Structures are given as C-alpha cells and as structure tokens.
Amino acid sequence: MNASGRRAELIRILRGRKKDTIENLAYELGVSRSTLKRYLLTLTVDEGYHIDTLPGNGGGVIFQTNSNQYKGILSQEQIYVLTELSKSICTHSAKVLKEILAAYA
C-alpha cells in the first residue's frame, strides 16, 4: 500500500475509533512513529481534517468528527472503479461522478 492509501486507511481507522495512540496506529499501518506523524500533519494541513495529538497519559491521536466528515471513506479500489466508470458514461453523469469522488475520496 502506498502513502496515500495508508493515509486513507488511517482516516478510516480514526473515524471508527475517534481516538488511539500513535504507537498503535503506526503498528497497524506498518510505519514508524515519525512517518505516522508526517501522515497526521499532511491530513491536517493539506487535507483539512481536524486531528489533535495530545501527549501523556490520556492523550493520543483524536479525530474530530465535525471536519470533512465523509472525506476519505472510499477505498482505493472504489476510487479506481468509479474513475474507470466515469470514462464510459455521458458527460453530465461523469461530471457528477467526479464531484462525488472529490467529496468522498
């Protein structure tokens, strides 16, 4: 899985759990702690997710569900299939499908 796929998987995990530790998330994704922290930075700065990281006991990675609530819910396979499908449908439907991909991919 590439970095983009791992970031999408990270969002799916956090969306379901709401909170976890950096160590656990890094282990699950098969990456180092520093790589996971870079993913979190990318997701917050570049993609607009509200993800907090709090140190110490009771801290961890906390996903704020009020931001980009549906962004990142599609799997890489779903994105691929929808992208391929958009190539074989009428212009208007393809435009709508691309808007869906932009909102949910």
Q: How far apart are CA 8 and CA 85, in angstroms?
A: 21
Gap between the terminal Cα atoms of the chain: 16
Bridge partner list, 72 = none
* pLDDT digits 0-9 by tens, 55-79: 887 778 988 866 555 667 788 898 8
pLDDT confidence of residue 67: 55
The ranges assigned to domains in the chain are 3-63, 74-105
Would the pTM count as exceeding 0.85?
Answer: no
Compute, in degrees rounded to 10, the torsion defined by CA atoms 44, 46, 48, 50.
0
Nearest to 49 by CA among 28, 76, 71: 71
Bridge partner list, 20 = 61
Does residue 14 carry a pLDDT above 60?
yes
3-63 topology per CATH: Arc Repressor Mutant, subunit A (1.10.10)
Judged by DSSP in three states, 1 sits in: coil
* Mean pLDDT computed over 6-29: 91
Q: In sequence order, which residues have a C-beta less than 8 Å from that of residue 91 and are 6 or more positions away?
A: none
pLDDT confidence of residue 31: 96
